[in-house]
């Protein structure tokens, strides 16, 4: 089945493409909009302005509308959903016009609406995820003339707006599923299953709920204390670490150069190996960049391009240009450490320019934030950083406990639990996990994910063999 992702020239499309591939779709990016008329499935992503998104689509709007009207499954995301309507208060030109109605400015005090919010609805694509939190970044919303097209709504500052609409087999969502952690991936898997069903069916234009769909809930609760998970169904994802030093994959003890207990020659081969074992996410760390002695950008670009796993990249990233380079290369998330801690206003600026793409790396040693490759303590405290980031549109916080990192002696459960419970953003925990029990403790504390290195490379942990691979 040919799934075409329309490159309308607005914003990064690599994240949604990667997420769709993980969801099981065979994806091709097209910039020639005339090709959409031959697609078996169409995805319209986008950030930015309505008219800009319609720029490439406008000459082919009639052909695209006819294709979608014929029942070809399609997904519009954010502005990609807005262009499905007839017009927008934001722009001057017409939309595709598949859905009667207009795109309107949000009737809220604080605009744009950025961050996690609840999606409530009964559409089959939300089976198991209705009421979950998804990531939003928008100033306008879809107002279809036919209210039966609205399948889910979201409330923001007392104003309710449609967050999921559907016309025939075209689905439009105001949230970004590719930025919405496991709830987003569950939604995309549901859409992929639906699209495959339509493609196989000789009649089949009726939207059906995907079979055997299981939601993995991450506790995305910005600005709240994270409480322990109430049931085993609320799983935490396990992410393999690919740390690169001198262009080789290493595992250091306590981050000390020369202490490596793992030394492998090929970062791409290593990353592909984890992806082949079913890992859906990879954590790439440029230790050369962190230590200020070069970088591994080319190697990481190759990994992002060749691996189907979603990649988050960190290590020595201190400029907007480097962030943009990784985002354009297709990185799902970019981890910022030293520069972000030392210059919180720069961090705020970067999260505004790359909403939902930035992870703040808060590495700790002895209860204090450590920076510059774990060689110095930061002047700011953990509590002060928590206060500073409360209203930033971060994808999350990565906490590495340097005291136990790489020692294969287990986590410090008390320290991890304290950090997770007080952090105002979703936490990915790293450092010391050497057993399933360690991961269970992190999951119960509320971590959304755990990065694991040494235990995987030594074979002490084999998550691909678990009943629920790579989940705890």
Q: Which residues belong to the active site?
A: 243, 363
Q: CA-CA distance, 441 to 438, in Å (whole number)? A: 5
Helix, strand or coil, per DSSP, at residue 79: helix
Q: State the DSSP string of 314-375.
A: ESS--SHHHHHHHHHHT-SEEEE-HHHHH-HHHHHHHHHHSTTTEEEE--EETTEEEETTTT
E-strand stretches of 106-219: 113-118, 120-121, 133-138, 140-144, 150-156, 159-167, 170-173
> How many Å apart are CA 221 and CA 200, to the nearest integer?
39
- Give the integer Cα–Cα distance in Å for 42 and 27: 10
Please give the structure tokens belonging to residue 409.
């002696």
Dihedral over alpha carbons 248, 22, 83, 213 (to 10 degrees): -150
Residue with tokens 């009667």: 100
Residue 307's nearest CA partner among 272, 267, 283 is 272
Give 345: exposed, middle or buried? Use CB within 10 Å, 0-12, 13-18, 19+. Answer: exposed
Give the DSSP H or E segment for 74: strand 74-77
DSSP string, 251-277: E-STT-TT--SEEES-HHHHHHHHHHT
d(CA 39, CA 238): 35
Torsion angle in degrees (nearest 10) through CA of 38, 42, 47, 50 = 60
């Amino acid at each position: 089945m040919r799934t075409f992702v329309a490159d309308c020239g607005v914003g990064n499309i690599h994240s949604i493409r990667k997420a769709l591939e993980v969801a099981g779709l065979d994806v091709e990016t097209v910039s020639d909009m005339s090709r959409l008329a031959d697609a078996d499935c169409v995805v319209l992503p986008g950030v930015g302005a309505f008219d800009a998104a319609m720029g490439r689509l406008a000459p082919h709007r009639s052909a695209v509308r006819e294709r979608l009207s014929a029942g070809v499954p399609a997904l519009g995301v954010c502005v990609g959903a807005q262009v499905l309507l007839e017009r927008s208060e934001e722009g001057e030109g017409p939309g595709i016009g598949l859905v009667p109605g207009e795109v309107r400015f949000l009737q809220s005090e604080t605009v744009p609406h950025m961050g996690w919010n609840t999606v409530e609805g009964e559409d089959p694509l939300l089976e198991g995820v209705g009421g979950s939190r998804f990531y939003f970044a928008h100033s306008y919303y879809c107002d279809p003339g036919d209210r039966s097209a609205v399948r889910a709504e979201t409330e923001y500052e007392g104003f309710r707006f449609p967050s999921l609409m559907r016309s025939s087999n075209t689905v439009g969502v105001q949230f970004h599923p590719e930025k919405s952690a496991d709830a987003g991936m569950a939604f995309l898997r549901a859409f992929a299953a639906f699209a495959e069903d339509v493609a196989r069916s000789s009649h089949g234009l009726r939207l059906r709920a995907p079979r055997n769909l299981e939601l993995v809930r991450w506790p995305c609760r910005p600005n709240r204390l994270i409480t322990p998970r109430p049931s085993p169904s609320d799983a935490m994802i396990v992410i393999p670490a690919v740390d690169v030093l001198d262009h080789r994959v290493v595992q250091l003890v306590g981050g000390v150069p020369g202490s490596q207990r793992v030394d492998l020659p090929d970062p791409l081969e290593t990353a592909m190996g984890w992806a082949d074992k079913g890992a859906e996410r990879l954590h790439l760390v440029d230790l050369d960049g962190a230590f200020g002695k070069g970088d591994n950008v080319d190697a990481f670009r190759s990994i992002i391009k060749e691996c189907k796993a979603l990649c988050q990249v960190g290590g020595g990233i201190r400029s907007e240009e480097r962030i943009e380079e990784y985002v354009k290369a297709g990185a799902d998330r970019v981890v910022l450490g030293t520069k972000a801690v030392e210059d919180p206003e720069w961090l705020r600026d970067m999260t505004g320019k790359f909403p939902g793409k930035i992870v703040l790396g808060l590495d700790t040693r002895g209860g204090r934030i450590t920076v510059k490759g774990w060689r110095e303590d930061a002047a700011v405290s953990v509590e002060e950083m928590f206060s500073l980031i409360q209203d930033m549109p971060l994808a999350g916080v990565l906490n590495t406990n340097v005291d136990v990192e790489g020692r294969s002696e287990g986590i410090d459960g008390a320290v991890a639990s304290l950090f997770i419970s007080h952090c105002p953003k979703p936490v990915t925990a790293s450092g010391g996990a050497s057993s399933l029990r360690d991961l269970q403790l992190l999951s119960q504390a509320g971590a959304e994910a755990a990065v694991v290195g040494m235990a995987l490379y030594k074979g002490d942990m084999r998550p691909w063999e678990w009943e629920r691979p790579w989940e705890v």
